[in-house]
Structure 1
């Protein structure tokens, strides 16, 4: 649930200054932070442990604040695009945290989620939607406010697809009369919609694979929607099983026997009064999932369901009563691209935010947790002091800053870009696809690494990260499976590369994001006097050197893909067969391009920060220094880490050191020296960042209510928090008697059966007599 999950949401938040002048929402709603003191146990030992962990956190915060010598508020404001928006977020958070239903003391707060079964989770989700509607009306929250509210709640609700896909599609794919009919109703939640595109048999292959048909019928002056096969039934749409009233159904538009491909149709699927499916429509739930449990992902079949002709979303084209398909006057095809690009850039933003939350949890836990001690010390070490753990936690933290700030810049550029030609759209699409592939893969791996860093506690739902990870894991396949949309990006890259090599695209007309391909035709881009060799960490600390190194890796990966494709074609394979045989090469080229792209984008952000805030500006020099160190650590990580242990793809470091062509930049890099320089830069940046890890994590400003992670309490009472959380498990309260009785009925006969005197009675064949278990076999009375 990214903060800027949609382009419309991003634009609304960018316009928040105007909203703040109009909104009646006042600052007095902002409450002071509340710290709840929890005790590990009634014994002195537990209280001593709680006091120690709390002091560890307080001292770490104090030491970091002293060494930075500055308030972190300007950094938090930077993350929230300025102080006004940061204050707005704080005020909205205060209202939500004080709510009786899902606030910090409410029965449905985030940390209570693991104790709910599937039915309870769904009911809780519906109650939260209703409560959000009531709060919205009560406080007259604007659209921009609601974007922030959904980000703060950050839980999978059946309303999720309605806000991130259904509404944006109405905004960009409807004509004026359709917007007047449906858009405001959707914004007011009078209709709640699903996005019914994916089918049981086809997901990523939308254009060629969708089987649902929408056949125009002049007799009915409408379209007949039909799912003719088992594989054509809609499968996966969020909220479809029970929650939504309407759906945007994607079906093959058939007019006069001609198939015009997938189009979107507005369809009411159930009664708003009874909730029952309408005639010809059958829906159901697809079953339990890895995550997103409160969302009722569903299936739907359509048996010749007729919808009016004007229910075809007609921003680009419409079908007239006589059966003619005509383009809509002044249609703008860019709008549909903007929706898709906004969604993918929103996923990049989400990758940064989930890593920020997980890093806050991991670093706070590592500050509180002590394990093992040196002989010279009286107490065990804080585990954050171990360099291997610092690397595992600080790299995801660095990535959270890079992804977050870069995505905001990307979304802003998306709002301001005109996209006045098809080529520009294709380039933006290739970039969005490549970044989505890289960021979701990196963030998923980062979440798992942070979870493991918590040791055994990482396997508990008290860590918060298992739920974060389970919800985010879908992002590697949603909005296009990563390995599928990687091909969309790589085909564009190969087309550009081929045009440069063949001379049909001059380097003066080369789009900025493909500048690294300049000189690929000669494959000898380095002159003897242009020595770019790396000799120490100081050389790699230069952003220009980092860019040159990543550009070389991306160039080599692209050239390697081209060589592999040409070799496959020379062996007699068709173009498609050759492409299929070279997917690992092309995927590598896309990832190398994505890494270069996001590093370039973040460096652009850093240059603006250093110009606007140096040295008399509002961002202290020490904070700027730490942001630079985060960029450097991210650079080392992406250079030396394989995309996936099973991907078969080389690291950018290996790519950059390859010798391709007659004389490339790689001839100026020495493998051993370059590797040592990267290791030296890693060590120096860890030494600089480690003392400030907690401050950089907490600069995000997440509250305990937002994190929902008892392993990382803001007040530092680690063990008291865990014991208190575990005590609320229904297995220890309302279900305890039932489970105790089940044990007595099922396993009790085994424990009380005399050895060697026949077979124990089966609880299945006949209900055994209830009797107390043998005291000699059990340590306590049941």
Structure 2
């Protein structure tokens, strides 16, 4: 389909979904999730459910929730979340959109004062949303009170035309996500009632007097974004599962080279090089899934604490969600591309399902926080933890190993490749890697301060080291979640054993991939790295004959997988041919371009002959 056809199809499916919601047919547990999985499209109203409604729930006062939630949940209005601007994204304090309070009319006047202040990229803004939660600078009594949230109606509920002062539209074709109308929003003197500012924490009275929110409310306002990042981690696992399912199934069907006379060509999956590409990704898909479960559990626990007024764990939740979002999306995106390459030339065809999967998913590395910035946010949390120099008992479990009194080991105890079958050995190596990388980053920061640089310049000078430390910390958390999950699972011995193999494979691949970091302070040596490599090669053989059942266990239906190469029945080549026959360009045996261009060329050539 063209991009326009894709958008039309997405809206049609989205409306069908809303009609089913209203009819009460999706009330059963998980029914909505199953339906969306079966539809498998980018819903234009996705942001409405994901961010618009939860923001009103979390940031609106009781009167506002009574006014807005019923009509929002019933889809009588369709909302979006307008934060990112043409000139500003992750740096929220730099946003330029202005909401100026006018006490004479008890209204806020919304303005996009510069070209770069117009909202740019919000999903659903282009042609779907009727209302927007607009993130803007509050100006009252001539004072800038910083960033606040406002509900702005942007389109008529009668004919869907933009309201006066509103200029809105689609930002144009993108790399992927054709079913979502990412758009722009420019406002000129748009007036909204005073109670359209979300006022659970901060308030503006009728005369324009501003009441500051509690000091911790700033942190709570990020709760919706943290929730979305937790969902992204889980979505990363599902997406990588799709890619690795396609690549492994095809690698069993595809044969390459007759290695011995009289024997059939070898299945591509029997080659060690193919196993080395794909099996760590298979392990990663499971690892990220368990990390997603951990992230969701952490979010639930901390939000329950917040509801009781306890905010101690909020910084940990924010740092963990930011870091895991970056680590998992980076791993997943590079994994999809490696799966495509592993499918050879056919992987380049849209029939494989991999190009579109990559195009749609790659945006996850920049939306809801650009990945480098996310790693730096995690790094800042680690930096603060280390600077406090607190004992292990006083730190959250995620960072307790960075405590001043945590035991530091000088050398790895590994003396045999089989020692790497113990996840505890792997986890200890990953801990020491983080501890050393944090020490390197701290040392570079401290040396910069010693030369007379201020804290901002010193942080910038050490920022690459800090991102490396943050990535290593997240790698450790994912491995830990994998190990803890399979240890706690009630499964048969065979399933437990293969899960443990995958866990060790995931850990070993990281050691080989980042071997320099594991050897940085002498904790591991070159002989032990070679042992790790030998053990990884051994585990590749262990996974070989479990690989297809392991991807089948993801239970992704062919209609959702949408791949001629990854079909459950393995009938790849016939479906590749049938897919090609259905291509719009093949509807005629002689293409229109023949009459327009080729015929004059060829007829002229023929006359000369």
Q: In which range does the TM-score fall when normalised by the shorter chain? A: over 0.9
1:636 aligns with 2:508: yes
1:289 aligns with 2:143: no
Among 191, 205, 212, which residue is 1:306 paired with? 191
1:675 aligns with 2:529: yes
Q: Secondary structure at the match of 2:147?
A: strand
Q: Residues 227, 461 of structure 1: CA spacing in aligned structure 2 closer, same or farther, 3 A cutoff?
A: same
CA contact (8 A) 2:511 2:518 kept: no
1:543-593 Cα distance to aligned partner (Å, 9 max, x none)? 211111000000010000011112222233222112112221011010011
What's 1:381 paired with?
266
1:556 aligns with 2:428: no
Q: Secondary structure at the match of 2:413?
A: coil
Higher mean Cα deviation, 466-475 or 404-413?
A: 404-413
**Aligned-partner Cα distance in 2 for 1:383–1:368:** 8
CA contact (8 A) 2:409 2:432 kept: no
Shift of 1:752: 2.3
TM-score normalised by length of structure 2: 0.95
Among 584, 597, 607, which residue is 2:477 paired with? 597
CA contact (8 A) 2:203 2:212 kept: yes
**Aligned-partner Cα distance in 1 for 2:258–2:274:** 16
CA contact (8 A) 1:540 1:546 kept: yes
What's 1:16 paired with?
none
Q: Secondary structure at the match of 2:80?
A: strand
Q: Residues 634, 329 of structure 1: CA spacing in aligned structure 2 closer, same or farther, 3 A cutoff?
A: closer
Shift of 1:422: 4.3
Q: Secondary structure at the match of 2:15?
A: helix
Among 737, 740, 743, which residue is 2:591 paired with? 740
Instruction: List aligned pairs for 1:173-322, cutoff 5 A.
Output: 173-207=59-93, 209-322=94-207
Higher mean Cα deviation, 374-383 or 165-174?
A: 374-383
1:655 aligns with 2:517: yes
CA contact (8 A) 2:391 2:403 kept: no
**Aligned-partner Cα distance in 1 for 2:208–2:592:** 69
Aligned CA RMSD, in angstroms, stands at 2.2
Higher mean Cα deviation, 627-636 or 564-573?
A: 564-573
Among 753, 756, 773, which residue is 2:604 paired with? 753
What's 1:497 paired with?
386
CA contact (8 A) 1:554 1:589 kept: yes
Among 143, 156, 176, which residue is 2:42 paired with? 156
**Aligned-partner Cα distance in 1 for 2:319–2:4:** 41
CA contact (8 A) 2:246 2:563 kept: yes
1:88-142 Cα distance to aligned partner (Å, 9 max, x none)? xxxxxxxxxxxxxxxxxxxxxxxxxxxx112211211111112222333456212
CA contact (8 A) 2:392 2:405 kept: no
What's 1:713 paired with?
567
Instruction: List aligned pairs for 1:105-120, cutoff 5 A.
Output: 116-120=1-5
1:462 aligns with 2:351: yes
Q: Secondary structure at the match of 1:306?
A: strand
Q: Residues 361, 139 of structure 1: CA spacing in aligned structure 2 closer, same or farther, 3 A cutoff?
A: farther
**Aligned-partner Cα distance in 1 for 2:439–2:215:** 42
What's 2:498 paired with?
626
**Aligned-partner Cα distance in 2 for 1:469–1:122:** 18
Q: Secondary structure at the match of 1:747?
A: helix
Q: Secondary structure at the match of 2:136?
A: strand
Among 447, 463, 470, which residue is 2:336 paired with? 447
1:597-622 Cα distance to aligned partner (Å, 9 max, x none)? 1211222212211xxx2xxxxx2211
What's 2:58 paired with?
172
1:582 aligns with 2:462: yes
Higher mean Cα deviation, 584-593 or 373-382?
A: 373-382
Higher mean Cα deviation, 152-161 or 449-458?
A: 152-161
CA contact (8 A) 1:316 1:333 kept: no
**Aligned-partner Cα distance in 2 for 1:728–1:341:** 43
1:243-275 Cα distance to aligned partner (Å, 9 max, x none)? 111111111011111112111111111112312
Among 395, 401, 408, which residue is 1:510 paired with? 395
1:702 aligns with 2:591: no
Among 129, 143, 148, which residue is 2:14 paired with? 129
Structure 2 unaligned segments of length 5 or more: list them.
Answer: none
Q: Of the two structures, which has the highest relative contact order with CA contacts closer than 8 Å and spacing of 6 or more? A: 1
1:356-386 Cα distance to aligned partner (Å, 9 max, x none)? 1111111111111112122244321111111
CA contact (8 A) 2:229 2:325 kept: yes
**Aligned-partner Cα distance in 1 for 2:330–2:516:** 20
Shift of 1:163: 2.1
Structure 1 unaligned segments of length 5 or more: list them.
Answer: 1-115, 614-618, 642-650, 660-665, 758-775, 777-782
Shift of 1:744: 2.3
1:569 aligns with 2:449: yes
Larger Rg belongs to: 1
Q: Residues 693, 672 of structure 1: CA spacing in aligned structure 2 closer, same or farther, 3 A cutoff?
A: same
What's 2:577 paired with?
723
Shift of 1:354: 0.4
CA contact (8 A) 1:497 1:520 kept: no
What's 2:408 paired with?
525
**Aligned-partner Cα distance in 2 for 1:624–1:240:** 47
**Aligned-partner Cα distance in 2 for 1:683–1:520:** 37
TM-score normalised by length of structure 1: 0.74
**Aligned-partner Cα distance in 1 for 2:575–2:9:** 24
**Aligned-partner Cα distance in 2 for 1:593–1:571:** 29
1:510-554 Cα distance to aligned partner (Å, 9 max, x none)? 322122223489xx8348xxx642112222221211111000000
Shift of 1:330: 13
Shift of 1:656: 2.4
What's 2:486 paired with?
606
